[in-house]
């Protein structure tokens, strides 16, 4: 491979020129020897001048192959072309990814739904990023649940059960991890080609056949408006096209938390209610819509109504050592306070980002550990009418009343009311 020098490559992007594949690969291959200050300058030049379609695809590919790339094996014994029963026993490997939201417990519901439908769900999840929540933290609220599966255990569980979710390790797309850490410290996160390549590189490394992306748009998402969400979708689909990947992208609203719960254990409780067929809210609608990208909607509804998805959830949690009985006992009586409406009004809008921050801060204990019981339950959603004396939201935490009251005041500052009727945001655009 050609030798380049980093100063020349920074200068090239500052002048608005495009990199060829060798130049991008040189950067990624030398990522640990380029000093952080020069790599940051390169990232900043890319942030300002952008990357074209070809550059973005090559950066994605190079970051994906900077570490371990999982080659998920289709287990031939799963197939028997003469047996219609086995025809749906492996419909391919699926990985679902959210670009990050508040109250986003979709993976907890969608993954067992897809596994019960015969897909192999292979997912490496991250912890919370900024004000967003992470699937890893939600699952950690379940006593005993193991996220540190090694590759062998991970693959065996997918083969036997059709579902495994583990925490992201250093092995996958390490170049993205390095670049992401610098972006986080240099105000260069919110770049469409950089977000698209970051998300997709990790998905490619995880080896799925089909990648389902839930692209969040609104005040609680990195993409705050529809035009940037659409631009990110276009960028992701263009990477998929260049790299011949089967990717489906759905844009969903994030102007308010998804569902009624924000907070780790509270969100797991909401997910269980949906899987048990007891709750049909916006989280349910989003799960149905995402799964319907792959199979007819009636099949998705049926797998929940029949209880098959709930059984799959229980099997999955116990396969990873989680104890659902203990989970129910642990969180059956979390201290909480409720804010009651003092007037008739409508829920007009909220800073969803602030809600995410309040919930994350509430969960962070002084000793640095997490209170997984902490969070917020919304009894009302945007557009709802609120009558004097009705519950609007409750704050939960294993903490002193003062801390809970403090969070109540903060949530109240983040929610806006109106005396005239307002419409509720559409979940899909
Ligand atoms: N999530 C990622 O994985 N990468 C980004 O750049 C932004 C969100």
The stretches of 84-150 forming alpha helices (DSSP H) are 84-87, 106-116, 135-140
**175 token code pair:** 């170049």
Minimal-distance CA residue to ligand 1 atom 6: 195
> With a 6 A CB cut-off, is 232 part of the ligand 1 pocket?
no
Region at 99 (left for phi over 0; alpha for psi -120 to 50; beta for the rest): alpha
Minimal-distance CA residue to ligand 1 atom 5: 195
Testing ligand 1's pocket by substitution, the residue of 97, 99, 232 carrying the most ligand atoms inside 8 A of its CB is 99
* Distance from residue 6's CA to the centre of ligand 1 (Å): 24
The DSSP result for 366-411, as a single string, is TTS-B-TT-EEEESS-TT-EE-TT-EEEEEE-SS-HHHHHHHHHHH
Tell me how far apart the alpha carbons of residues 93 and 335 are, in angstroms, rounded to a whole number.
41
> With a 6 A CB cut-off, is 100 part of the ligand 1 pocket?
yes
The DSSP result for 253-271, as a single string, is E-SS-SSSEESHHHHHHHH
Tokens 């670049």 -> residue: 179
Tokens 């109240």 -> residue: 412
* Distance from residue 199's CA to the centre of ligand 1 (Å): 5
Tell me how far apart the alpha carbons of residues 219 and 217 are, in angstroms, rounded to a whole number.
7
> With a 6 A CB cut-off, is 193 part of the ligand 1 pocket?
no
| Domains detected in the chain | 6-50 (1.20.970.10), 76-327 (3.40.1030.10), 335-418 (3.90.1170.30)
**What are the catalytic residues?**
97, 176, 183, 198, 202
> With a 6 A CB cut-off, is 198 part of the ligand 1 pocket?
yes
Using alpha carbons only, give the angle 66, 221, 177 rounded to the nearest 5 degrees: 15
pLDDT tens string, the chain, 429 residues long: the values are 567 899 999 999 999 999 999 999 999 999 999 999 999 999 999 999 999 999 999 999 999 999 988 877 655 445 455 554 544 457 899 999 999 899 999 999 999 999 999 999 989 887 777 788 889 999 999 999 999 998 889 989 998 999 999 988 888 899 998 999 899 889 998 899 999 999 999 999 988 889 999 999 999 998 999 999 999 999 999 999 998 999 999 999 999 999 999 999 999 999 999 999 999 999 999 999 999 999 999 999 999 999 999 999 999 999 999 999 999 999 999 999 999 999 999 999 999 999 999 999 999 999 989 999 999 999 999 999 999 999 999 999 999 999 999 999 999 999 999 999 999 999 997
DSSP 78: G
Tell me how far apart the alpha carbons of residues 97 and 111 are, in angstroms, rounded to a whole number.
11
> With a 6 A CB cut-off, is 157 part of the ligand 1 pocket?
no
Atom nearest to 126 CA in ligand 1: 3
> With a 6 A CB cut-off, is 264 part of the ligand 1 pocket?
no
């Amino acid at each position: 491979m050609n030798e380049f020098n980093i100063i020349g490559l920074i200068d090239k992007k500052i002048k608005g020129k495009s990199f060829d594949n060798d130049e991008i690969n040189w950067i990624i291959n030398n990522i640990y020897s380029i000093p952080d200050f020069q790599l940051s300058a390169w990232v900043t030049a890319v942030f300002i001048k952008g990357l074209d379609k070809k550059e973005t695809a090559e950066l994605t590919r190079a970051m994906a192959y900077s570490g371990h790339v999982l080659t998920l094996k289709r287990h031939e014994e799963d197939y028997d072309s003469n047996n219609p029963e086995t025809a749906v026993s492996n419909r391919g490997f699926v990985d679902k990814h959210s670009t990050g939201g508040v109250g986003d417990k979709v993976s907890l519901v969608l993954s067992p739904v897809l596994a019960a439908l015969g897909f192999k769900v292979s997912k490496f999840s991250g912890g919370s990023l900024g004000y967003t929540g992470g699937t890893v933290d939600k699952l950690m609220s379940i006593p005993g649940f193991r996220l540190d599966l090694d590759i062998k255990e991970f693959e065996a569980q997918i083969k036997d059960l059709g579902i495994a979710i583990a925490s992201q390790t250093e092995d996958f797309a390490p170049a993205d991890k390095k670049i992401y850490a610098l972006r986080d410290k240099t105000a260069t996160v919110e770049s469409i080609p950089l977000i698209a390549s970051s998300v997709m590189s990790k998905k490619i490394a995880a080896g799925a056949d089909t990648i389902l992306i839930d692209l969040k748009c609104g005040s609680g998402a990195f993409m705050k408006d529809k035009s940037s969400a659409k631009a990110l979708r276009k960028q992701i689909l263009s990477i998929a096209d260049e790299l011949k990947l089967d990717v489906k992208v759905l844009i969903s609203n994030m102007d308010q938390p998804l569902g009624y719960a924000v907070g780790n254990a509270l969100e797991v409780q909401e997910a269980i209610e949906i899987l048990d067929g007891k709750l049909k809210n916006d989280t349910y609608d989003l799960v149905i819509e995402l799964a319907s990208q792959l199979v007819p909607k009636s099949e998705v509804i049926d797998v929940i109504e029949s209880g098959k998805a709930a059984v799959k959830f229980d099997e999955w949690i116990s396969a990873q050592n989680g104890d659902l009985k203990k989970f129910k006992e642990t969180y059956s009586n979390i201290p909480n306070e409720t804010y009651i409406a003092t007037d008739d009004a409508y829920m007009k809008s909220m800073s969803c980002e602030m809600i995410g921050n309040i919930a994350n801060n509430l969960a962070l204990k002084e000793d640095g550990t997490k209170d997984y019981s902490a969070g917020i339950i919304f009894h009302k959603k945007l557009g709802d009418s609120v009558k004097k004396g009705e519950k609007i939201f409750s704050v939960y935490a294993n903490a002193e009343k003062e801390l809970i009251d403090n969070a109540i005041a903060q949530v109240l500052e983040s929610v806006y009311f109106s005396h005239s009727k307002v419409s509720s945001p559409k979940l899909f655009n």
